[in-house]
Chains A and B, each alone.
Chain A
């Protein structure tokens, strides 16, 4: 197989992406599908804000509102934020550690397709009898009582996409432990790699409790297992514990990679080494560790008793310390630097006050007795949007601008990028700042309507206007993406000019084998060190040019995922009892999955080699456009 550039047809490109095991292409798949679900979730958010624009609005009915609200949360967390972050992890992390791919390229592809089919399954609920309507937290008593198939779509869809996420987490952990280039010690890893590492460990520990919870839920609904049926001796609080033992670390699974992206940005655009790198690393680990100790702060009002509440209150407060360490280290990174206000940097700069605001309200809610007032009010809605939009979404938007050239070889328009930023940023604060006060003024969350003249009308109207601003920002960004793609102005290795880590030392986009020769890492910010020493190649090599072993493409991941997708419909409609075709569908689906797994296990797939001659040819052609 040659790496010589060929113009491929549309069908061939699609086939290429459906069978690819290349981490960079999988990253693009994650980016596109995560981006799509982000738009879907955003649309749902707009519906919510239109409904709550004024008192007593009847734009959405009560039941529909609950579906929209549930799907907004579920989509944004599981199908937008996580995949978009996985896109950057896939695109950048292997490059940052000087690897040619992740440890398990086949699993990487499988993880993606499981996520995508799970996500599609969940969203098909809209067209197949109603979406889930018990909130993204899916509290058991309401979920069990919910009629129709919404909750089944939730449980089965999240099970499938959860498998995908778990596989991705395991893959990244193994990759980072085993595949670092020579000299890339743990304490020389770029911070984005570190946060990917910690977030992946969190995925490994946090997703099993969710899976257990969802299994209980599925068993209750499908087989009458009564885990959560109070009248049969079940207990609904168990769901709350399982969900939040997953749910709280999930917040850090999202926000740690966001921290990683911002850490890269602060260093690049201040032209300065990260201040307190060691402290940042340990703060990351500490946050990940504490993340598992605090789940019950979501349950202060459940009635766990004062001892549990006090312990979890103090544990929660403790998380503020490592988070504070991070904020101050970032501030000291830009302090004394040479700050340039590119689009990614503006997002990073905007992130600090936004996230601090979300952080301090977090500490306020850690005060258990105060939380009795704040819990389940609009205050908490404001708080977690400050953390997730002000932290994670700003990081995703920043990362999109930062890594677009590395992923696609062309730069997003800076001017449009700044327009997006201003609309989105102003809209974000307009929407959510005021919601703190709505909560304090007694407005509960998850209400489809409210009665007028309670002092809430004006603030809700302002909040809805803000949402419109955010929507405009996102639309400008889409225009930007299309214009950039059409123009297709190619860029070099280090388009921002101040890249510090290994990914900026290789072409944009990199050749499919990433590094013709594995680099030798001589310190933190490897590329920066070489640049400062005047090394035009940007790298010191750890090995002579030689043959490279690469994995073959495979269609099997799509088939495995498709099998589970089909089986889920069988499982779901089997519940109805009057659909004889459901059981065969379930069996056929599972058969497809297991047979394709068997094929994968029995058939040897030894991969192929890129010869030295081909690599030399590539290099002669100027090391650009390697991926084509």
Chain B
């Protein structure tokens, strides 16, 4: 019996350990592995509150278990009528006062951190030396079901893949173009709603270069139900050091994109353009511009980590997507292939050409 109990305990301990070891999730997306100052602050609050709450749970469990062990009727006999105690004002005082103290322990960092995370005093401040701002600002627009990122200071815009420098505050202005969304990069910091009626502003700090990650990017999510494809409204975040970031900005700012190489890709470009299927009416292929496009900007498509925000980045998925966008993101606003291609689906050859062209759109070396 005792032996069995021991084994059972060991088993329980091991399985608990297993759960907790496996239980931190993945670096790309878990709030339990913070990769930014904001997420780290929030993680610390999580640990602090968990510790305080664990204390409460332990106290409750001790009284609870003792009561259940000591006062079973099977032990006390069927006839016993317990003393009908009315209460105790001393005890009432204790279990009113102690929780208040515990809550005060939580309240102080809560209030501090609430104001700290809302601090936008260094936003839009001109840098003392050189030109530009001290901090980067990104205007984020949430649309059904994709994200647009505009860098107003640099006059560039991209979509689906946010590119930011590490080790500095990045400010975000959030607004929704249609229904409400919520902007969330779990391993970098908490979410903020993307409302249709007002701009919400906050900051995040990115402490780790995403190239160190297995997947090369952090994962961003829409956290507010926004329609059928809410679950698929993902974006990715590429973080790089300031130098690389400046290079990326410069490449994006190139007015003249690199010429398209290869026959197939050139066919694709033609098909993509106004004389072909007219994709370009919604999808810009130049990184310069402002937000407000109908479809995601594709200037960096070849550099991206995913197709449509969540599919493996390969030609197969790209072609599938172009052939039938509704299959992969129900309710999205991209027209189907027949509408685009004058009543007929794209032929395999046309799809190959489009894929070759799009995969060649790149600003990174």
Contacts and interface: CB of A to CB of B under 8 A. Distances in A.
B: interface residue count bin: 35 or more
Interface in B203-246: 219, 221-232, 234
A372 B182 CA distance: 11
B144 to A, nearest CB: 9
Interface residues of A, number: 91
Contacts of B99: 320-321, 324
A277 B87 CA distance: 7
A337 B82 contact: yes
A447 interface: yes
A623 B307 CA distance: 75
A55 to B, nearest CB: 11
Given A236-B196, A336-B71, A448 B228 contact: yes
B106 to A, nearest CB: 6
A335 interface: yes
A302 B221 contact: no
Given A367-B45, A372-B117, A444-B221, A349 B191 contact: no
Which DSSP category, helix, strand, loop or mixed, fits chain A's interface?
A: helix
Nearest to B227: A142
B64 A305 contact: no
Interface in A299-343: 301-303, 305-306, 309-310, 313-314, 317-318, 320-321, 324-325, 327-329, 331-332, 334-341
A241 to B, nearest CB: 13
Interface string A421-457: 0000000000000100100111011111111001110
Contact of A441 (B24, B50, B107, B178): B24
Contacts of B100: 321
B87 A279 contact: yes
B73 A442 contact: no
Contact of B191 (A327, A366, A373): A373
Nearest to B174: A303
B334 interface: no
Contacts of B256: none
A445 B224 CA distance: 8
A178 to B, nearest CB: 28
Contacts of A450: 231
B195 A278 contact: no
Contact of B45 (A134, A329, A369, A437): A369
B85 A313 contact: no
B49 interface: yes
Contact of A369 (B64, B71, B110): B110
A340 B31 CA distance: 44
A337 B68 CA distance: 10
A185 to B, nearest CB: 16
A335 B71 contact: yes
A356 interface: yes
Given A271-B82, A454-B26, A63 B110 contact: no
Contacts of B23: 437, 441
Contact of B106 (A66, A142, A363, A447): A363
A445 B70 CA distance: 42
Interface string A123-142: 00000000001110001011
B284 to A, nearest CB: 24
A444 B184 contact: yes
A305 B67 contact: no
Given A335-B66, A338-B72, 11 more contacts: A145-B227, A271-B73, A276-B87, A303-B195, A324-B56, A331-B63, A363-B49, A373-B190, A441-B32, A444-B231, A449-B232
Interface of B: 19, 22-26, 28-32, 39, 41-42, 45-46, 49-50, 53, 56-57, 60-61, 63-64, 66-68, 70-74, 76, 80-88, 91-92, 95-96, 99-100, 103, 106-107, 109-111, 113-118, 176, 178-180, 182, 184, 186-187, 189-193, 195-198, 200, 219, 221-232, 234, 310, 330-331
10 contacts: A145-B178, A302-B195, A309-B118, A310-B115, A328-B63, A369-B116, A441-B30, A446-B225, A454-B29, A455-B24
Closest 10 CB pairs of A and B: A372-B190, A441-B25, A447-B231, A442-B186, A276-B87, A442-B29, A62-B228, A360-B53, A303-B200, A306-B118
